[in-house]
A and B are shown apart, each in its own frame.
Chain A
Amino acid sequence: MTAAVLIAGIPLLLGIAGLLLPPGDDEGRRRPAAALGIAGAAASLLVTLGLLLFARKPIELSTHWISLGDVDLTLGISVGHAALYVALAVCVVALFVQIYSVAYLHDDPRYAPYAAQISLFTGAMLLVVTSGDLIGVLVGWEVMGACSYLLIGHDRRLPEAPAAAVKAFLVTRVGDVGFLLGVAILIVDAGTSRIADVLTEAPHPAALILILAGVAGKSAQFPLHTWLPDAMAGPTPISALIHAATMVAAGVYVVFRLYPLYEQSPAALAVLGVMAAITILLGALSAMAQDDLKRVLAWSTVSQIGYMTGALAVGSPAAALFHLLTHAAFKALLFLAAGAVIHAVGTNYLSRMGGLREHMPITFWSFVAGLGALAGLPPLAGFWSKENVLTAATHATEGGGAVPVWVAWLVWLAGLFAVGLTAWYATRLLLWAFFGVSRAHGPDGPDWEVGFDDARYTQPALPHDPPAAMRWPILLLAIPSALLGLAAFAPGFRTALELDEPHLGVAIVLPLVLLALGATTAWWLWREVPGVDPATALGPARPLLAAGFRFDDLQDRFIVRPTRALARAVTTVDEKVVDATVEGTGTTTSRVGEALAYAHRMSLPAAAAAVLAGALLLGAVAVLFGAAA
């Protein structure tokens, strides 16, 4: 069972190997890069599958790594079946992203480092999932941050890409200040960083809340969610990777991993619940007003991760993990399909799409499956997992759990309300991008050419479904997006996640009513005023929602600018006070020296007078002190 080491090890090693490949874009150089990338993900997938099939009990491997003072660090692997399912999702998405990228980046000269960075990214996430040691988790956690930075900044044609990359790394790094401190407290209390040992200690609530800061950063939870929409500047497969399997899932997974500690701390759960409720609504509302296809999906991720943290807060880690798995499937599907749309029409903007259904049937039906699952349409995957989360919240409102009842109510209400909002924006996205007439020419219609022919206009290249390397990942991902929810009926899967059996009671009526209401409203708006974005109905609130409630401005005003001002002030003090003192000491010494040198050059009479005056002074001192003695 030592093979568990390979799950994270293979992609990490192949990633490093890939970075050492010579750069260049001719076919002979692309091929090894692609081979390394695909092989890494595929090998991990096989190992994970093998362990899922053959491992009977959780795998625990641990060996001493290093001791720093009284703190023992271990190198350890700890995977139960739940971890293996998450690892499986990561590997599948990573494999599809690698295959898809070969076609998507067919003309990119920096493909080789890109593929290697995906491998590292995947390996780092798998390390977080499989590590049995907090330091191992931290290593994976931060390597992911660095890889996301490199990958988001990959596209050289986008001037905003470097800024978005820096933002992604920095915002998550700010959260990681808390994460590091929290981990430090846990390690110091337990005297070791082995998770199994840490879990036996009574936790310090401050440590758990500090770790939540890191979770908020990585999982894009309020108030550290601002990096995720901007991260859309990265290539679309990277968005799929970040949103579906790695990075944002890591925060949820870490809370899941440390859940025995969180269970003991109502304060930490309350913080998590409030964070989740705000995030669910914030994400859903912002998604309603976006014009950029990828940004709609990005905000929907923010909202859906909120469901997962909400489930954790109300005491159901199983529901959180189930939603994580279904979300991984349908969000990867949506992003890869969105990549196909962008590939075909050459723009991210919904206002330039429309009427794509006839030309891209495969992509269209994938979107139907993905958006249906996102909205929670029965019997697609998202329905089952979301129903699980809402049921868990309902249970928690009855009290008796670790979480305060009001927090459970908050999560339940936010989750319920957001079902309607999600249905609304999913329907809007589908109708606005795939139905109606093409708006590829912009609002003024096609460019008419005046010539000898009567009335000729430029015909745009017809959009089409993507090439095979992009099509197959999409098609294959549509299967779990549609059917993964039914896994809740499989006893083996349920035991692994410790999930409750799904029961379709009265409780599901309310979400379904809201779902229908949201979808119908969007459809009605779209049908009543043809050719107008349903989001116009948001009226004056639209710019605010489109800007994500202007949290970027707040962040800029209260964090970025004060830091800059502080940096300026400190630099000035350093130059004008600290260094000036040093330089001043030097110049003062030279000046005193010059003055003394000058004094020694005075004329003979003056010098004689000075000598006499000195003698007189010394005599006077001697007399005075002699008298005193």
Chain B
Amino acid sequence: MTVALIAVLLIPALGAAVLAVFPSRLDHLARVVGTVFAVAALVPIVVLAFARDDARFSYSALQPWAELDVSWVPALHLDFHLGIDGVSYPLVALTGLLTALCCAYTLWRVPENGGSGRTLVALLLVLETGILGTFLALDLLLFFLFFEVVLLPMYAVIAGWGGADRRRAARKFVLYTLFGSVLLLLGVLTVTVAAGTGDLTQLTGGLGLSRTTQQVAFVLLAIAFAVKAPLWPLHTWLPDAHTQAPTVGSVILAGVLLKMGTYGLIRVGVGVAPLGAEWAAPVLGILAVAAVLAGSLICLRQTELKRLIAYSSVGHMGFVLLGIATLTATGLQAALLGNVAHGLITGLLFFLAGAIKDRAHTGDLADLGGLRESAPRLAGILGFAAIASLGLPGLAGFWGEAFAVVAAVERGGGLWTTLAALAAIGGALTAAYFLRLLRKVTHGPVGTPVSPTISGAEWLAWSPLAALTLAVGVAPALVLAATSAPVRALTEAWR
């Protein structure tokens, strides 16, 4: 299984390297090769699913199914320590899937007036390596390194293939998230210096760290991850980045990049500094609900398709963060599920927004309309995605949101009950803005005419996401099957 673990990281990295030496005139062939690598990376991911072994017992709260531990820089407490468990596996699978879909989509269409398709695919593969590394790292410094690897390729994707105002948006993205990274580094160093190790399997549960250290570390880490997630009010890089990014960039950004923040918060923030998390939970909860409400209210006022979907991410990630803030097993599992659901649904929504913008050459809601007359299939799948995103029970989006509310009710007390009620109201507002979106885009008289033909590549990119949205909605166990034990172990710290 160690081989599969290395292969998960190595295949995309190798792919990027191969593409880098590809002659530029073989652009299409380069994209095909890149896609082959992205699909090949799915193989070890599938293999890893069989490594799951619930029967194994250890004293650590973190019990990876497969592990690789090589000493790298002992002086810095830096080990090349990778591992996978029920918390990280769904996100690893999501990353592999979305990257493969994006590469395949790039085969069919490379954004105009940008760089070459070869470079775009290579960057996507580098991104994949960084994101997968972040999800797999079991060493704090290694986690930080992978977390940073992602930054520059994403900057390049936005700045190289984005819309008219791409440079400014990319700059804002990179500077804002760098600010978060500085805090992350500080937090990571605080923990490694105090504990004398960076090994997450030993650190999880906050063993040996004093209460003050945990509080300081959690504040630093939480702010760093809050920028990435993003948590209101640290979210303003997101709408600009999304609006300007090319379709594949938006899909990766919303689908998996944001998850690095919430995953980090669960694995590193809550895992390493449980006492700090408990101390800061009310603030985190209040901010999360503020994000839900602010995100959905702002969405009601948006006039641009991609910007609206970007802001909707703020609201949805608010639900995920609320789930984490409750620090209950229910809430944490809801957050993990919400993470994956948001990746699937928002990924699909960004694909569709890209398709509409490619056809209508505008994303302005006022200029769109009558899509169900001019392109019924596109309107149908957009309706499906929007209804999934507003949390319809039976589809993936429901679980994370409803059970974040249930978890807050479970937590009890005046504050958390109020937060639950406000979050539920946020759910109604979410419905309001998605219905407004559908009314403007699909109903009414035909605005800008839109070609109804949908290419095979588009179906290929959309249908897995739509199918998984339904599948996870009906069988949430697909995501949650292996999370019960690790999440329960995490919550042991507060008993």
Contact = CB atoms under 8 A, between A and B. Distances in A.
Contact of A574 (B236, B300, B372, B429): B236
B297 A570 contact: yes
A142 B392 contact: yes
Given A170-B428, A180-B427, A574-B298, A68 B330 contact: yes
Given A138-B393, A579-B236, A149 B405 contact: no
Interface string B80-102: 00000000000000000000000
A571 B420 contact: no
Given A142-B392, A578-B236, A181 B420 contact: yes
A177 B428 contact: yes
B392 A146 contact: yes
A146 B389 CA distance: 12
A65 B298 CA distance: 36
Interface string A64-87: 011111110000000000000000
Contact of B431 (A67, A139, A173): A173
A19 interface: yes
A68 B425 contact: no
A41 interface: no
B330 A570 contact: no
Contact of B373 (A19, A138, A156): A156
Interface size class of B (residues with CB under 8 A): 35 or more
Contacts of A110: 372, 376
B406 interface: yes
A113 B232 CA distance: 39
Interface in A165-189: 166, 169-170, 173-174, 176-177, 180-181, 184-185, 187-188
A69 B331 contact: yes
Given A150-B383, A184-B409, A566-B297, A66 B444 contact: no
Given A68-B334, A156-B373, A170 B420 contact: no
Chain A CB count within 10 A is highest, among B331, B377, B431, B475, for B431
A149 B435 contact: yes
B272 to A, nearest CB: 21
A285 B233 CA distance: 50
B406 A188 contact: yes
Contact of B424 (A65, A181, A579): A181
B66 to A, nearest CB: 25
A69 B333 contact: yes
Contact of A69 (B232, B300, B329, B475): B329
A441 interface: no
Interface in A124-143: 135, 138-139, 141-143
B421 interface: yes
Interface stretch (B140-148, B258-266, B476-484): B476-484
A586 interface: yes
B383 to A, nearest CB: 7
Interface string B315-338: 000000000000011111110000
Nearest to A580: B236
A153 B487 contact: no
B407 interface: yes
A161 B407 CA distance: 38
B436 A180 contact: no
Contacts of A563: 297, 300, 429, 432
Contact of B393 (A67, A142, A149, A161): A142
A564 interface: yes
A162 interface: yes
Is chain B's binding surface mostly helix, strand, loop or mixed? Answer: helix
Interface string B405-435: 1110110000000001100110111011001
A246 to B, nearest CB: 16
Nearest to A185: B409
A184 B428 contact: no
B403 interface: yes
Contact of B428 (A149, A176, A570): A176
Interface in A554-587: 563-564, 566-568, 570-571, 574, 578-579, 582, 586
Nearest to B409: A184
A408 to B, nearest CB: 31
Contact of B301 (A150, A161, A188, A567): A567
Nearest to B480: A66
A23 interface: yes
Contact of B233 (A153, A161, A188, A578): A578
B196 interface: no
Contact of B377 (A23, A70, A71, A142): A23
Contact of A586 (B175, B393, B428): B175
Contacts of A69: 328-333, 407, 410, 487, 491
A166 B434 CA distance: 10
A142 B394 contact: yes
Contacts of A184: 402, 405-406, 409, 420
A166 B176 contact: no
Contacts of A113: 376, 380
B476 A66 contact: yes
Interface in B171-225: 172, 175-176
A567 B236 contact: no
Contacts of B420: 181, 184
B443 interface: yes
A570 B298 contact: yes
Interface string A459-493: 00000000000000000000000000000000000
Nearest to B402: A180
B297 A571 contact: yes
A170 B392 contact: no
Contacts of A139: 393-394, 398
Contact of A143 (B332, B333, B393, B432): B393
Interface in A183-210: 184-185, 187-188
Contacts of B407: 69
A170 B428 CA distance: 7
B428 A174 contact: yes
Contact of B427 (A141, A177, A582): A177
B392 A143 contact: yes
Interface string B217-261: 000000000000000110011000000000000000000000000
A568 B294 CA distance: 11
A177 B424 contact: yes
Contacts of A568: 301
B88 to A, nearest CB: 19
B419 to A, nearest CB: 11
Contact of B439 (A19, A162, A185, A564): A162
Interface string A14-38: 0000010001000000000000000
A170 B435 contact: yes
A67 B332 CA distance: 12
Contacts of A68: 329-330, 333-334, 399, 403, 406, 480
B127 interface: no
A139 B435 CA distance: 19
Nearest to B412: A188
Nearest to A170: B432
Given A69-B407, A184-B409, A571 B428 contact: no
A432 to B, nearest CB: 34
A582 B376 CA distance: 42
Nearest to A568: B301
A146 B391 CA distance: 11
Q: Nearest 10 pairs between A and B by C-beta? A: A69-B330, A69-B329, A162-B443, A139-B393, A567-B300, A579-B236, A567-B297, A570-B297, A184-B406, A571-B301
13 contacts: A23-B376, A68-B399, A146-B392, A163-B439, A170-B435, A173-B432, A177-B428, A180-B405, A181-B409, A567-B297, A567-B298, A570-B293, A570-B297
Interface of A: 19, 23, 65-71, 110, 113, 135, 138-139, 141-143, 146, 149-150, 153, 156, 161-163, 166, 169-170, 173-174, 176-177, 180-181, 184-185, 187-188, 563-564, 566-568, 570-571, 574, 578-579, 582, 586
Given A71-B406, A161-B443, 4 more contacts: A113-B376, A143-B393, A173-B428, A571-B297
